Structure 1
Amino acid sequence: MSEISQSKSIQKAERDMSGRITIRTVAADAGVSVSAVSKVLRNAYGVSDVLRAKVNASIEKLGYRPNASARGMRGRSYTLGVLLSDIRNPFFSEIMAGINEALANTPYQPLLGVSNSAVGVERSLIDAMIDRQMDGLIFVAPRMLDEEIDAAARRIPTVVIGHHRPQAMHFDTVNGDDEAGAEHAIDHLVAAGLEKITHISLDISASEDNSVTAHRELGYRRAMERHGLSRHTDVHYAEHSPLARNLARNLLKRSDRPEALFCWTDSCAFEAISAAMELGISVPQGLSVIGYDNSPPCDLAQNNLTSIDQSGRQLGMESARMLMERIEGRQKPEHLLVETRLIVRGSTITASGHDL
């Protein structure tokens, strides 16, 4: 019997027995072992490009779809849980795009849960995802206590974005350099001759000192001190971005109103710009505004927002890569800090005193 005939016979036998294409059918069609197909499906280390191309060609030709329930019973479901603290933040869509890009040529599929920054919901989502035999979790800006994140990471491979814990042993972290990013923002405003620079941050608990907002505030305070502007250090807190408009409006009504607002996120900065427009204050001539994240809406003409870029797509890609490595057995923690950069647009005056 020829190799082609044998392959067809195996395929037919597999179809007759199960009613669907199996991993053995794929192996026979590609002319490789079942274990080789399994390695490609798991994106295992050491798989050659030639082998991967051969197996993927057979998978596409045969229309093979792995049986998720069977894989779950074997200890691998190839699903990853992604926990977002706030689905309204446009920056998180960039993180998800990076996660999807990293998983595109793997058997893994991300499943999304949204906590709305509620710690109780985060706990429930973690339990639900573990109960559904997901292989790993990515937390995006969690609000849980450090010990709760540690406890979750002991149960399931975990990577955390937006939480600075370089000493953590049970999970990996991926962050932008938030302190440096805040300093970039203040340096830019000071170079334009501004001194009365107010920082609007998120209202967090004292236990959340590892959060991105806490680190951005540290960078703001350090830069103000470095420039000899400690007397103008002024930090105000809003519970979430929609409330930032009221806060900004109140700040701008003061007789000693700020010359610039550095906002902890782009969403907050958009609210600040809206408040300025309502009060008839021009941006940037009457008020400079800087956001954080460089999310896609920053580039729209009506926003034209100067912002700190930390590459959400890269954060997402790196988190997915780390999580797959964790699932494959890596135990040594990895903590990645992504460099930030200032993207100057028309919401701030420049060093020459002119807006862009």
Structure 2
Amino acid sequence: MSIEEKKRLKRNDRVTIRTVATHAGVSVAAVSKVMRNAYGVSEALRARVTDAIEVLGYRPSRAARGLRGRSFTIGVLLIDIRNPFLPEVIAGVNGVLAPSHYQAMIGVSDARVQLETSLIESMIDYKMDGLILVAPRLPSDIIAKFAAQIPIVAVGYHDAGATAFDTVNADDQRGAELAVEALLACGYRDIEMLSLGEREGHQVSVVRQREIGFRRAIQRAGLGSSAPITKIPIAPPKREETMRKFLSRKNRPRAVFCWSDLDAITLLSLAMEMGVRVPEDLAVVGYDNSSTAALGLVNLASIDQSGRELGQVATRTLISRIEGRTGAEHIFQMPSLVSRNSLTRSGKAPVA
């Protein structure tokens, strides 16, 4: 930094984008391009601007950016912070945003529609550039109304007909089919699904999509036209009570597919407490392949939908929408099975 620059900074502690441009020897427009990760920026230019930002300690004014029409802030709205799958999604979002100078602001709605609506409205009021909604509970027409005001990408929301906003999903129907196929390959024929109660999921939710895939796989295997699904409440203590009743049933199935690791892990814990051996008495397959599922004491077979990749794809999709894309995109990713001891004691993938 030159002596003249140091004197100027002493007179005015506020480092502006013009200060950065002068220090880097480039135009203000060039600094702006680097900060928003615009296409076509050379590595040399990026390095000069990034070095200047670090040396000067430049922190962009969010308020000023908002007034100019861009705040470089993305809102991420989560429904249920308890789900161990969500940290991977957030890591994917942050991984894409880190080099772009966008920042993520996270809100948690606690699965209440009124709070979800209020948080979205607040994010719009704070001039955020776009929103990533993870498994929203709002109807599609309401999300579309918000999307008329701000770019939106919904993750875990199966509405391929939406035109106002984008969706990024794993193929949840196929994921449920993979779980059933794995159980069938291990010789299990008495298979049931643990899902959420009717009030906790709608037709476009991952819960209902996984139910559709489960029923299809059961019927395709010739195991009956009515695939058995046990619905559990979302809130304790009724959640645990319902699981205990399931485990103590005289006609308990030989194998179970859980809609999420969130409940599959709880089921494993209760099974151990009640003396139900896994997989000898009950084989269990979860969904999400969360980090907890891979722990040695848990060892839960699970469907992997790569939450980190979902977060990355959703973020790139949102940025392209912010940059001017108008046509809706609906992106599907293929899940896969990760076999562990809750499916077969060997932990090896079953042979189809």
Per the TM superposition, whether the score is higher than 0.5 is: yes
Q: Describe the shift of the 1:213–1:354 C-alpha distance in structure 2 as closer, same or farther (beyond 3 A).
A: closer
**2:339·2:349 contact (CA, 8 Å) conserved in 1?**
no
SS at match of 2:292: helix
Amino acid aligned to 1:88? R
1:259 matched to 2:254? The reply is yes
Distance in 2 between the 1:240 and 1:222 partners? Answer: 25
**TM-score normalised over the length of structure 2:** 0.93
1:326 matched to 2:292? The reply is no
Residue 40 (structure 1) aligns with? 34
Distance in 2 between the 1:267 and 1:351 partners? Answer: 23
Q: 2:300 aligns with which of 305, 321, 342?
A: 305
1:20 matched to 2:18? The reply is no
- Give the RMSD, CA atoms, in angstroms: 2.2
**1:14·1:25 contact (CA, 8 Å) conserved in 2?**
no
Q: 1:97 aligns with which of 79, 91, 96?
A: 91
Distance in 2 between the 1:354 and 1:16 partners? Answer: 65
1:220 matched to 2:218? The reply is no
1:115 matched to 2:120? The reply is no
**1:82·1:139 contact (CA, 8 Å) conserved in 2?**
yes
Distance in 2 between the 1:251 and 1:303 partners? Answer: 20
- What do residues 206-235 of structure 1 show as CA deviations (whole Å, max 9, x unaligned)? 982111111100110010011111257201
Q: Describe the shift of the 1:235–1:351 C-alpha distance in structure 2 as closer, same or farther (beyond 3 A).
A: farther
How far is the alpha carbon of 1:18 from its aligned partner? 4.2
**1:251·1:257 contact (CA, 8 Å) conserved in 2?**
yes
Alignment size in residue pairs: 349
Distance in 2 between the 1:68 and 1:16 partners? Answer: 23
Amino acid aligned to 1:270? I
Q: Give 4+ residue runs of structure 1 displaced > 6 Å after superposition.
A: 350-355
Distance in 2 between the 1:171 and 1:292 partners? Answer: 26
Please, which moves more after superposition, 315-324 or 244-253? Answer: 244-253
1:275 matched to 2:270? The reply is yes
Matches within 5 A, 1:191-210: 191-205=185-199, 208-210=202-204
Amino acid aligned to 1:217? E
- What do residues 72-119 of structure 1 show as CA deviations (whole Å, max 9, x unaligned)? 111111111111000111100110111111111122111111111110
- What do residues 17-39 of structure 1 show as CA deviations (whole Å, max 9, x unaligned)? 74321111111121211101011
Residue 161 (structure 1) aligns with? 155
SS at match of 2:14: coil
Q: Describe the shift of the 1:300–1:309 C-alpha distance in structure 2 as closer, same or farther (beyond 3 A).
A: same
Q: Describe the shift of the 1:337–1:29 C-alpha distance in structure 2 as closer, same or farther (beyond 3 A).
A: same
**2:88·2:311 contact (CA, 8 Å) conserved in 1?**
yes
SS at match of 2:100: coil
Residue 309 (structure 2) aligns with? 314
Residue 186 (structure 1) aligns with? 180
How far is the alpha carbon of 1:244 from its aligned partner? 4.0
Residue 83 (structure 1) aligns with? 77
Amino acid aligned to 1:297? T
Amino acid aligned to 1:164? H
**1:192·1:353 contact (CA, 8 Å) conserved in 2?**
no
Mark the runs of 5 or more structure 2 residues left unpaired by the alignment. Answer: none
How far is the alpha carbon of 1:352 from its aligned partner? 11
**2:140·2:162 contact (CA, 8 Å) conserved in 1?**
no
Amino acid aligned to 2:160? P
- What do residues 34-76 of structure 1 show as CA deviations (whole Å, max 9, x unaligned)? 1010111111222222211221111112211111111111111
**TM-score normalised over the length of structure 1:** 0.92
Distance in 2 between the 1:47 and 1:112 partners? Answer: 29
How far is the alpha carbon of 1:333 from its aligned partner? 1.5
Residue 143 (structure 1) aligns with? 137
SS at match of 1:111: strand
Amino acid aligned to 2:108? V
Amino acid aligned to 2:267? A
Q: 1:249 aligns with which of 244, 249, 261?
A: 244
Amino acid aligned to 2:272? M
Mark the runs of 5 or more structure 1 residues left unpaired by the alignment. Answer: none
Distance in 1 between the 2:93 and 2:324 partners? Answer: 20
Q: Describe the shift of the 1:305–1:351 C-alpha distance in structure 2 as closer, same or farther (beyond 3 A).
A: closer
How far is the alpha carbon of 1:248 from its aligned partner? 2.4
Distance in 1 between the 2:306 and 2:233 partners? Answer: 25
Distance in 2 between the 1:125 and 1:330 partners? Answer: 25
Identity among equivalent positions (%) equals 48
Q: 2:286 aligns with which of 277, 291, 298?
A: 291
